[in-house]
Amino acid sequence: MRKVKVDLGEKSYHIVIGSGLGEELQRFIAAADFSRKALLVTDSNVGPLYGQQIKSLLQEAGLCVELAEIPAGERSKCLAVAESLYTKAIELGLDRRSPIFALGGGVVGDLTGFVAATYMRGVPFIQLPTSLLAQVDSSVGGKVAVNHALGKNLIGSFYQPKAVFMDLSLMRTLPKREIATGMGEIIKYGVIYDPDFFSFLEQNRQAVLNLEPDAATHMIARSCEIKADVVSQDEQEAGLRRILNFGHTMAHAIERETGYVRYNHGEAVAIGMIGAADISCRMGLISESVKQRLIDLVERMHLPLLADGCDVDAMYHDIFHDKKTVGGKVNWVLMTGIGSVICRDDVPEDVVR
Ligand code: NAD
Ligand code: ZN
C-alpha cells in the first residue's frame, strides 16, 4: 500500500493506493466527523460489479447509504443528471456533514464532485476511482465539472475531496482499451516531470499494462505524486499547472473534430503528445531521437500515433477556439527533453499545420 499526500494547506488530503482497501476506508470513516446518512454514486457498468460490495463496506462502517446508479458514459456528465442527484440527496435528508462517495471512472468522479461541491454549498466528498484514467488523473487535483451542450467541462469548480482510495482489485474488470487510455496521461507525467519515471515505463511496459500489483502501484502512486506536486504549487491553474496540458491542445481539437467517438481522451492525448513533440523538434527544442523515444513508448503501450479523419484547416481553427486559448495566442506546452517542458506562444502557423 502507498499513500500520497496532496498538500493544500487546510484542504490537504491523502490518496491511498493498494489492493483491497476496505479496512483502510472503514478506518477513515470511523475517524471522520460525518453524519450517518450518505450517498454512493456509481454508473451502470461499475454498479453491478462493485456497488453492493462497497455499499456493504460503508454500512459496516456505520453509514446509512443509498446507492445511486447513473447511466455509464460521458452523456451523464450533465446538469440534468446532477439535478437528479440533488433531488435524491434532498429526499434522503443529506445534511452539510453527509459524505458523498464517487465509485467509478472520471465521469462519475467529475459529476459527483460537482454535486458534492454545490449541494448545500459543499458536503464531504470521497473519491473511489475505478478506471486507470480516474486514478492517475481526474481524481487528483480537485477539478469537478459537468458538460454543457456547447462544450465539455464548462460548468464546474475546484473542490478537493476529503480522501481518495484507489483499489487495484477493482480494476480487474476494466476493458483493455481503458487501460491504454490511462497510459496516455501516465506517459505524459514522465515527459513533463520525471525522466526516471519515463524509463521505468519503458522498462516495465508489460508489467504495467497487465496491472501487476507492484508495478501498477508504483506507476499509479508516482503519477499521483507528480500531479499532486504540480497542483499543490498551483491549485487554481495560474501557471505551473499548465504543463499538465502537454498533448492536450491538439487532443481537445482531435476529440471535437471526431465527435468524441473515434478516440477516447487518452488516445487523443497520445496523438497530441506526438504532435507537441513534433512541434518541439521543428522548433529546435529536442532532437529526432528524443521524439522517437516518445513515439516508441506510445506505440508500445498500444496507443495511436496519428489521427484519422481530421481536416487540417478545421483542426487549426479548433485549436484557436479552445477555452485555454488566451488573447488569441495558443500557449503550447513543448518538450525540451524527456522530463522537462516549457510553454511557448510563438509557434508559427506553418509549424503547427
Ligand atoms: P468513464 O468514467 O466513462 O469510464 C470509462 C468506462 O470504463 C466507462 O464505461 C465505465 O463504466 C467503465 N469502468 C470504469 N471503471 C471500471 C471497472 N473497474 N471495471 C469495468 N468498467 C469500468 O471515463 P474515464 O476515462 O474514467 O474518465 C473520463 C472523464 O474524466 C471525462 O469526462 C473527462 O473530462 C474527465 N477528466 C477529468 C479530469 C479532472 O481533472 N477532473 C481529468 C481528466 C479527465
Ligand atoms: Zn487529460
- List the CATH number of the domain containing 156: 3.40.50.1970
Candidate list 77, 162, 222, 252, residue with the active-site label: 252
- Pairing status of strand 143-148 against strand 37-43: unpaired
**Residue to mutate (ligand 1; options 178, 211, 324; most atoms within 8 A of CB):** 178
Any atom of ligand 1 within 6 Å of the Cβ of 225: no
Percentage of the chain lying above the pLDDT 90 cut: 84
Domain termination site, one of 171, 201, 233: 171
Q: What residues contact 243, with CB distance under 8 A and at least 6 apart? A: 192, 193, 230, 333, 341, 343
Q: Say whether both 104 and 236 belong to one domain.
A: no
Q: How far is the CA of 133 from the centre of ligand 1 (A)?
A: 6
Q: How far is the CA of 138 from the centre of ligand 2 (A)?
A: 8
Dihedral sign, Cα of residue 183, residue 185, residue 186, residue 188 = positive
Q: Say whether both 271 and 236 belong to one domain.
A: yes
CA distance linking residue 83 with residue 310, whole number of Å: 35
Domain termination site, one of 121, 148, 171: 171
CATH number of the domain where residue 340 is located: 1.20.1090.10
pLDDT category of residue 326 using cuts at 50, 70 and 90? low
- Yes or no: say if 99 and 125 are a contact pair by the CB < 8 Å rule: yes
- Which neighbouring-strand residues pair with 157? 144
Q: Say whether both 228 and 296 belong to one domain.
A: yes
- Yes or no: say if 244 and 227 are a contact pair by the CB < 8 Å rule: yes
Over the chain, what is the mean pLDDT?
94
Q: Say whether both 13 and 158 belong to one domain.
A: yes
Query: Is residue 60 part of an annotated ligand binding site?
Result: no
Q: Say whether both 140 and 240 belong to one domain.
A: no
Rounded mean pLDDT of 87-111?
Answer: 98
- Yes or no: say if 222 and 4 are a contact pair by the CB < 8 Å rule: no
Residue 53's pLDDT is: 97
Q: Say whether both 326 and 240 belong to one domain.
A: yes
Closest residue by Cα to residue 6 from 214, 230, 204: 230
Q: How far is the CA of 46 from the centre of ligand 1 (A)?
A: 11
Closest residue by Cα to residue 185 from 213, 217, 223, 158: 223
Rounded mean pLDDT of 36-44?
Answer: 98
CA distance linking residue 105 with residue 36, whole number of Å: 25
- Pairing status of strand 151-158 against strand 143-148: antiparallel
**Residue to mutate (ligand 1; options 78, 107, 252; most atoms within 8 A of CB):** 107
Report the run of H or E that residue 324 belongs to, with start and end: none
Q: Check pLDDT > 80 for residue 235.
A: no
- Yes or no: say if 271 and 307 are a contact pair by the CB < 8 Å rule: yes
Any atom of ligand 1 within 6 Å of the Cβ of 45: yes
Residue 327's pLDDT is: 67
SS3 104: strand
Q: Check pLDDT > 90 for residue 143.
A: yes
Q: Say whether both 188 and 262 belong to one domain.
A: yes
Candidate list 188, 222, 265, 293, residue with the active-site label: 265
Which atom of ligand 1 is nearest the CA belonging to 132? 26
Rounded mean pLDDT of 157-186?
Answer: 96
ipTM: 0.99
User: What pLDDT, in 10s, does the model give residues 181-202?
Assistant: 999 999 999 999 999 999 999 9
Q: Say whether both 12 and 27 belong to one domain.
A: yes
- Yes or no: say if 17 and 166 are a contact pair by the CB < 8 Å rule: yes
Dihedral sign, Cα of residue 346, residue 349, residue 350, residue 353 = positive
Any atom of ligand 1 within 6 Å of the Cβ of 77: yes
Any atom of ligand 1 within 6 Å of the Cβ of 181: yes
- Structurally, how many domains does the chain consist of? 2
Rounded mean pLDDT of 156-171?
Answer: 96
Q: Check pLDDT > 70 for residue 209.
A: yes
Q: Say whether both 16 and 147 belong to one domain.
A: yes
- Yes or no: say if 127 and 164 are a contact pair by the CB < 8 Å rule: yes
Identity of residue 183: M
Query: Is residue 156 part of an annotated ligand binding site?
Result: no
Domain termination site, one of 155, 171, 187: 171
Percentage of the chain lying above the pLDDT 70 cut: 98
Residue 322's pLDDT is: 65
Which residue is associated with the grid cell 499545420?
A: 353
* Residue 46 CA: distances (Å) to CA of 41, 189, 241, 336: 10, 27, 31, 40
Q: Say whether both 100 and 202 belong to one domain.
A: no
Any atom of ligand 1 within 6 Å of the Cβ of 251: no
According to DSSP, residue 71 is labeled: P
Helices (H), the chain: 22-31, 46, 52-60, 79-92, 106-118, 132-133, 176-193, 195-203, 205-209, 213-233, 248-257, 265-282, 288-300, 312-320, 349-352
CA distance linking residue 138 with residue 106, whole number of Å: 6
> Which residues span the domain enclosing 60?
2-171
Q: Check pLDDT > 80 for residue 325.
A: no
Q: How far is the CA of 72 from the centre of ligand 1 (A)?
A: 9
Q: Check pLDDT > 90 for residue 2.
A: yes
Q: Give the predicted TM-score (pTM) of the model.
A: 0.94
Nearest C-alpha to atom 40 of ligand 1 is from which residue?
138
User: What pLDDT, in 10s, does the model give residues 254-313?
Assistant: 998 888 788 989 999 999 999 999 999 999 999 999 999 999 999 999 999 998 888 889
Any atom of ligand 1 within 6 Å of the Cβ of 131: yes
- C-alpha cell recorded at residue 67: 446507492
Candidate list 45, 162, 178, 185, residue with the active-site label: 185
Q: Is there a catalytic annotation at residue 302? A: no
Q: Say whether both 122 and 235 belong to one domain.
A: no
**Residue to mutate (ligand 1; options 54, 103, 110, 111; most atoms within 8 A of CB):** 110
Q: Say whether both 271 and 335 belong to one domain.
A: yes
Residue 233's pLDDT is: 87
Residue 260's pLDDT is: 79
Closest residue by Cα to residue 163 from 205, 126, 200, 137: 126
